[in-house]
Structure 1
Amino acid sequence: MNLAEVERLRAATPGCYSVIHFNHAGASLPSEATLDAMIEQLQREATGGPMEAADQSIQTRARHAAATLLNANAESIAFASSGSAAWGMAFNALGPWQTGDRILVGRHEWGGNLACMSRAVSAGARLEVIPCDETGAVSVPALKQMIDAKVKLIALTWLPANSGLINPAEAIGAVARQHGIAYFIDAGQALGQLPCDVQALNCDVLKGAGRKFLRGPRGTALMYVKPGFLERLIPGHLDVLSAPWEGEGFSVRDDARRFETSEVSVALLAGLANALEEFNRLGATRIRQRIYGLCRHLRERLGTLSGLTLHNLGPTDQQSGLIAFTLKGWDSVDLKQHLAQRGINIGANGVAYTPLDMQARGLESIARIAVSYFNTEEEMDVLLNALSELSVQRG
């Protein structure tokens, strides 16, 4: 991805004119075309009637774009209001849970997923943490030693919210397939950063939010459910879309839309469709290379700042676009607010986001820089200068 292309992408992104944005892991900046797609749909609804303007082709576009992104069939894609909602629906449909059932998770599991799992634990299931290897990633050899007939689910947060780690999702999928164990991937931070091929991952369920590195609107998420695994999942909530009337009764759909409802924001799906198509045109491999190059340089420079401590995990040549750090004398939320006053957006995470890992590493909070492909070296210079000045203030 050359500089001229990056400048064209930035010129087509209104937020780039007003803010330096390094919070793509929270929510990224949408393109002008994504905004236009949503506004045009809202205008059609306002002038022609909301129900009458519900163009089915928009949902079809979004579903096919999501399928292209994941190397999946369109019938295996469902949309939801958030990644957490999608994951929760799939998890709750996997029950019932029995005493002695085992759920294996990485130490970096997203807090929202763990909260959902607590219901299974209350029913008698055991939640067990897979040990980490020497780099801090989920250890595949350790996972293999934990497998027995009681393991009902392996759950992985592919890219944790509080470090640059990229967990070995494909290798874990191979273990799950070998033993016929359900495998769920939280790809919330991976979609839009890395190539994501559900065939290679060997996962049964994968979910991710539209608002993060994919640059879609808030209130959108996508979920993949593997064909053949779908019949094992009975949603807790059904309506006339997910279980249509078929003459003598209601019948649960035989595609992933059994997790959708008849009411949906077509405007949000119009925005998501555009964002997914833009990503697919750019290409996941090129985006990954651009993000990795920017982050490698930024990590090196951050490591030279006095009072700043990086909290990276994983091999240095395989890290993601998330950079976790603390700055001496600064609470992470306070630091985020001070940078925002300078027109620089970053993130800040507490223990609740990744509780098992934060507690294991003795971290109360972290500040987080999340880099996207349309960030620039010049923006990194501004961020580094600001952090250097703030470090001196309280160092």
Structure 2
Amino acid sequence: MDIERIREETPGTRNAVHLNAAGSALPARPVLDTVVSHLELEAEIGGYEAADRAHGRLEEGYAVLARLVGAAPDEIAVTDSATRAWDQAFYAIPFAPGDRILTTTSEYSSNALAYVQAARRHRVSVEVVPDDEHGTIDLKALADSLGRGGVRLVALNHVPTHDGLVNPAAEVGALARAHDALFLLDACQSAGQLPLDVDGLNVDLLSATGRKFLRGPRGTGFLYVRRSVLERLDPPVVDLLSADLTGPDGFAFRPDARRFETWERSVANQLGLIEAAGYALDLGLDAIAERVGALASRLRAALAEVPGITVHDRGLRKSGIVTFTHAGQSAETLVPKLAAAGVVTRVSEQTYRYDEGLAPRSRVRASVHYYNTEEELDRAVRVLASLV
């Protein structure tokens, strides 16, 4: 991986040590140029006309996004965020009273809100599978829970936003499939950071964003829907792209995953998402994962040497998300101090099924990406040490 070239193509690396890929990573110049050039074209000839010119690239984009997760192009829907993608999948599931939803302690807050609403609306039960001794979902407990029957959905956060662990998605998916439960994987923090293969992961539904480790524009995301489960779902939103009227009282959905799309979207952003996905594929997802993992390990080790700092990441397998606290200063105090010194991090909170005895609710989250350098990480730790 040519880091010097990558950093030259990443203007933001000249401004600060950017350690917030888990929030919104720095885009590469080709992504920026793609978005801006299409916006300029819209200003010159009009939005519809510019979209017509981009039609071929937009269609090619489904194959690019499919390659990113090992899917077929007709199993991909483009959305305006990972939350929208996840919601489109979740609210399409025809829950019935008495159905069970299984999730984890590390679930993302927006997803958890949807469970609460589903419980009220459909009288389903939402059950949290406990963690194992490493902090990841306990597979034995999951198997036992599935064995009791009635599970309509297993929903898993692949890489939690507030922790450094990677959940064992493939094993979870295999258990869900064995018990005929749908498996919805939130890959918001893993797409662009880790290699993903929907068949190997045994996934039925997968949601992802563009703005995080994929380095795409904000306002982009996509949804994977396994072809074999398409007819088991009832998309919650219908419009002139997702379906056709068959008469005054009827309609028919599209035959592919685009039945989960809506017609209006930012074409410029969609083109930027496609460019970002292609950029990641050209670099190689295995190479990206190796470098991100190595940088995160280096940062954890260096942080552990700073007096008063506690690193809170768990899991046998860890991601590029590094979380820590200081004994004397809160995360809310440290993050702006670090930013003023040129080190960009973020406050991250665990808000779902929070265990007070496990770790502080608020932590500093420093999420690395392959465009970071070892020297930057060393500088960030020196700055932190000077502040505490």
Length-normalised TM-score, structure 1? 0.94
Q: Secondary structure at the match of 1:251?
A: strand
Q: Is 1:204 equivalent to 2:204 in the alignment?
A: yes
Consecutive aligned runs of 4 or more in structure 1 exceeding 6 Å deviation: none
Q: Is 1:193 equivalent to 2:193 in the alignment?
A: yes
- Per-residue displacement from partner, 1:60-90 (whole Å, max 9, x unpaired)? 2321111010110011001111111111111
* Residue matched to 1:111: 109
Letter of the structure 2 residue corresponding to residue 262 of structure 1: W
* Residue matched to 1:61: 60
Q: Is 1:382 equivalent to 2:379 in the alignment?
A: yes
Q: Is 1:348 equivalent to 2:360 in the alignment?
A: no
Deviation of 1:301 (Å): 1.1
1:58/1:266 contact within 8 Å kept: no
C-alpha separation between the residues in 2 aligned to 1:337 and 1:264? Answer: 34
* Residue matched to 1:255: 256
Deviation of 1:351 (Å): 3.6
Percent identical among aligned pairs is: 39
C-alpha separation between the residues in 2 aligned to 1:296 and 1:375? Answer: 13
C-alpha separation between the residues in 1 aligned to 2:323 and 2:209? Answer: 20
C-alpha separation between the residues in 1 aligned to 2:374 and 2:93? Answer: 46
Q: Secondary structure at the match of 2:191?
A: coil
C-alpha separation between the residues in 2 aligned to 1:184 and 1:357? Answer: 22
**Gap regions ≥5 residues in structure 2:** none
Q: How does 1:39-188 map to 2 (within 5 A)?
A: 39-54=36-51, 55-98=54-97, 100-122=98-120, 123-147=122-146, 148-188=148-188
Letter of the structure 2 residue corresponding to residue 68 of structure 1: R
Deviation of 1:331 (Å): 2.0
Deviation of 1:364 (Å): 2.3
Q: How does 1:287-366 map to 2 (within 5 A)?
A: 287-315=288-316, 318-352=317-351, 355-357=352-354, 359=356, 361-366=358-363
Q: Secondary structure at the match of 1:348?
A: strand
Deviation of 1:329 (Å): 2.2
RMSD value, Cα: 1.4
* Residue matched to 2:273: 272
**Gap regions ≥5 residues in structure 1:** none
C-alpha separation between the residues in 2 aligned to 1:135 and 1:328? Answer: 23
- Per-residue displacement from partner, 1:15-69 (whole Å, max 9, x unpaired)? 1111210000000000111000001111111111111110212322321111010
C-alpha separation between the residues in 2 aligned to 1:328 and 1:66? Answer: 43
Letter of the structure 1 residue corresponding to residue 104 of structure 2: G
Q: Secondary structure at the match of 2:140?
A: helix
Deviation of 1:363 (Å): 2.3
Structure 1 pair 357/171, CA: closer, same or farther in 2 (3 Å)? farther
C-alpha separation between the residues in 2 aligned to 1:360 and 1:94? Answer: 35
Count the aligned residue pairs.
383
Length-normalised TM-score, structure 2? 0.96
Q: Is 1:12 equivalent to 2:9 in the alignment?
A: yes
